[in-house]
Structure 1
C-alpha cells in the first residue's frame, strides 16, 4: 500500500537540470521519479546532494532518448540498469526499476521491472525508499515518511536479510543514523548488525574507509560510535582497540574551538594511541598517504604536549606546522580527561591563531662564508644552528644571528 504526500517548495522539480531529465524520461508509457537521498533530504529541509533517478524505461531506451535530445549518456552500470546522463555539467544516475532474483552482496542478480513498490522494497532503509515524481508527489511503500518524522533509521523488511545482501549496510546503518537519526539506534536493526558483524571482514578496505570517514563527521557520530563499540563492531573494522571516550571529547573540543569537523582527526581520536595504530589503520582502511601521515603524526608522543609553556608550544608549532601541531595537541587534550572548557588547553590550541612562526633566517651561504664546505657537514651545522635559534626564542636581530652562526661553526671546529 502506497502513501502519497506532496513535497512542498521543491522548485528543483519544476525547473533546472533535474526537471529536464525527468521530462525527458516521462511520457510514451514510461515514468521517472527522483529516489533515495535527495527525497529524504528534501523532506528534512537539508541540502540536497546528488539527484538519483529511477525509471521504468530500460537502459537502451534511456540512451535512445538522451541521444535524440543531444544529451550525453554514459553506461556507468548498464548491466545493473544504470546510465549516467550529464545535463548542464551535472551528472544524474538513472537506473531502471529492479528486483533481485538472487542476492549475494554486491554481485546480486537483478531483473528489470516496472513495479515501483518492488523496487522500493529492495533498498536498504525506509527513509531511503521514498520516491517523488515530477509533480511533487512523494510515494512511500515502506513507511519512510513516518520514520523521517520520527528521525528513525530502520531497515526495510527483515534487517537480517537486508544485511546478508550486503554487509556494508552494517556501517551504513550507523552512519545514516548519525546523520539523520535521533536517540539510540533502532533496536532490531542494531541487534541484526551485531549478529552479522563477522561479515564486516569480507568488505573491501576502500568501501569501509569511505563509510567510516563519512561517519566520523556526522552530527550524531558520538552516539553511533558508542553503540558500535558496545556491540563489538569496531574491532573487526579497525583490528585493534577503539577509544569512544576520546572520540566524543574530540567532537566537543572541535565545537568549543569553532573548528570544522575533521574526519581524519576524529579517526585519530577514536583509534590512534601510538604510531603503530596509524600504520595498522592505514592498511585496514587503505588510507591515502596524506591521511596516514596525519594519523602517524598525531600518534607520535602526543602525551608530551600537555602542560607546555608558551615558549615550548611555539617550538612545537614551528617544528610541526599548524595542522600537525593542532591535530596532535587536540589528541592530547581529548585524551587528558579535561573538558572542552579548559582555559589552559584552549590557550595552547589557539596559538596558531595568535602567532605565526618565522622562517629560520640563516642560510647555507652564511656557513659557507665561514668556511663550511657543501656536503653532509653543512647540513649538520645548519641543524645545530636552527636548534640554537629555537632555544633562544626565534631572535631575528643581526647580532644574535651572528653569534648563533659563529657558535655552530665553532662547535664543529672544536669537535674536529
Structure 2
C-alpha cells in the first residue's frame, strides 16, 4: 500500500457527504470515498456522485442510518450496496468485497475488510484510489501515477479483466476519451481487440449506456477512430461506421458552439440511410424518442445539399426546427470537414434568423367557397398549403384569396366536381 498524500479541500469534507462518512467510521468500521470522485478531484474536474466503500456489512450500514434518522434504500443489497439519502442527495455505500469464484460478471463474491484486495477487483487503476476520513489518499495499484499521466490502464492482466466483463472493452475507450491523453494504453488496446468477439454477449442496454457516454466525451474523436481500426465498432453497430462524418460533426458542433449531442453524433457515426438508424436502434435498444430522432436524421438528408434559402425555408416549415437542425447537421457532416463551411453555416442557422409563419388559410376559407366537410376538404387544404409554400409564404390578402380560389378550381377540374 502507498499512502501518498492528504487531500485537504475535498467536497466530501463538509455537508451531507461528511455526515455519511462520520456515520460509517468508528466502532470497528471504516469508510472511504472511492472511484470516480477521487479521480476527478485529482484531475481537477467536478467530482459528480460521491461513492463510498466501507468495511461495515450492509445490515450494519442500514442500522446506523436508521439510528441517525437517515433514509436507506437496499438498492443492491445482495451485492453489498445500500443507498443513503441525506438532504435529498443519494450516496451509494458498498461493502468491501473479494472474489471467491470468478466466472464473468456473475463472479461469486464474499464481503471483506481488506482495502487492497477490494482495489484489485476494480477495472482501471485510476478508478481504484480511495480517501480516508482524515484525507489520506490510498493507492494500491499505481493509480496516482496513471491519473497524473492521464493514462487509462487495466488492473492486472487486461485479458483476464476483460473476460470477467466484456463491457470493459467499451469502458476502456470511453474512460480514455473522458480522462485520458495521447494514444490509448497499448496493452489495454490489444487486449480489447483480442476480446472483441465477446461484445456479442453484452445486452443492448449496457452497450447503449457506454456508447452514448462515449459519444459526448472530450476525446471521442480519437477514441472512436481507435475502436474502428480495431474492428470494435463493427461488432457494436453490426455495420459500417463512418469516422469522417463523425469527426466533421464534432467540428461543426464546436464551430457553432453547440453542446455535444450523443444522438446527433451517433447519427453521424453510424447512419447513412434510415435502415442504418433502425439497425442501431435494435443493436443499442434506443428509446422511442432516440429512435425517431435517429430515423429522421437519416431520411433523405442528401436532399439538403446545395439548397437555396427559399427551399431551405420550405424544408424548415415542413420539418420543424428540431428535425431540420438534426438533418441539416448530418448533411453538413457527411459533406466532410473540407467542405466550405459558409453555405452550411447559413443553412444550419436559418432557424435563428427566420421563424416560419403559420399557414393562414383555414377550413372555413374553403367551406365558404362551396367545399363540403369531408376527405376532399383535407386534400384541398393540403394542395393550398403547397401553393402557399411555392409562393414563398405569401401573406397579403389578395395572394391568399388567389391561392384559395385557384386550389378549389383546380381540385374541381381534376375531379370533375
Q: TM-score range by the shorter chain?
A: over 0.9
CA distance in 1, matches of 2:358, 2:136: 62
* In 1: Cα distance, 2:7 partner to 2:339 partner: 41
Q: Does the residue aligned with 1:234 lie in a helix, a strand or coil? A: helix
Change (3 A) 1:388 1:100: same
* Cα offsets for 1:74-100 (capped at 9, x unmatched): 111111100111111111110000011
Match of 1:287 in 2: 286
Distance 1:405 1:90 in 2: 60
How big is the shift at 1:104? 2.6
Deviation at 1:278, TM superposition (A): 0.6
Aligned-residue CA RMSD (Å): 1.1
List structure 1 runs of 4+ shifted beyond 2 angstroms: 1-4, 103-106, 337-341
Q: Is the counterpart of residue 362 in structure 1 residue 394 in structure 2? A: no
Partners of 1:253 and 1:172 lie apart in 2 by: 26
Q: What stretches of structure 1 of length at least 5 have no aligned partner?
A: none
Question: What's the counterpart of residue 330 of structure 1?
Answer: 329
How far is the alpha carbon of 1:340 from its aligned partner?
7.1
1:320 maps to 2:319: yes
After TM superposition, the structure 1 = structure 2 runs for residues 361-400 of structure 1, keeping only pairs within 5 Å, are 361-400=360-399
1:112 partnered with 2:107 = no
CA contact (8 A) 1:84 1:91 kept: yes
How far is the alpha carbon of 1:330 from its aligned partner? 1.3
In the TM superposition, 1:3-402 aligns within 5 A as 3-10=3-10, 12-339=11-338, 342-402=341-401
**In 2, Cα distance between equivalents of 1:59 and 1:262:** 38
> If the length of structure 2 is used for normalisation, what is the TM-score?
0.98
**What corresponds to 2:2 in structure 1?**
2
Q: Distance in 2 between matches of 1:339 and 1:258?
A: 19
Counterpart Cα distance in 2 of 1:243 and 1:105? 32
Deviation at 1:13, TM superposition (A): 2.5
**Aligned partners of 2:391 and 2:239: how far apart in 1?**
42
Instruction: Compare 57-66 and 401-410 and name the one that shifted more.
Output: 401-410
| SS at 2:41 equivalent | helix
Structure 2, unaligned runs of 5 or more: none
* Aligned-pair CA distance for 1:49: 1.3
2:235 counterpart SS class:
helix
Q: Distance in 2 between matches of 1:344 and 1:90?
A: 48
Aligned positions, number: 415
1:7 Cα offset (Å): 1.9
Measured against aligned partners, the alpha-carbon deviations of 1:75-129 in whole angstroms (never above 9, x if no partner) come to: 1111110011111111111000001112233322111000000001100001100
Contact 2:251/2:337, CA 8 A, preserved across alignment: no
How far apart are the structure 2 equivalents of 1:289 and 1:406? 42
Q: Structure 1 CA distance, aligned partners of 2:403 and 2:296?
A: 30
Can you list the C-alpha shifts for 1:356-400, whole angstroms capped at 9, x where unaligned? Answer: 111111112211222222222111111111111111111111111
Alpha-carbon distance in structure 2 between the residues aligned to 1:173 and 1:358: 49
Task: Report which stretch shifted further, 219-228 or 104-113.
Answer: 104-113
Q: TM-score, normalised by structure 1?
A: 0.98
- C-alpha offsets along residues 195-249 of structure 1, whole Å, 9 cap, x if unaligned? 0001101111111011000000000000110000000001111111100111011
Structure 2 CA distance for aligned equivalents of residues 405 and 206 of structure 1: 52
Aligned to 1:154, the other structure's residue is in SS state coil
- Deviation by residue 1:269-294 (Cα, 9 ceiling, x = unmatched): 00000000011111111111111111
Cα distance per residue 1:309-351 (max 9 Å; x no partner): 1101111111111111111111111111343761111111111
CA distance in 2, matches of 1:209, 1:102: 29
Contact 2:43 2:147 in 1 (8 A): yes
SS in 2 for 1:395: coil
* Mapped contact 1:13–1:136 kept (Cα < 8 A): no
Distance in 1 between the 2:145 and 2:337 partners?
Answer: 41
CA distance in 2, matches of 1:172, 1:125: 10
Distance 1:389 1:36 in 2: 60
- Decide whether the 8 Å contact of 1:256 with 1:340 is kept in 2: no
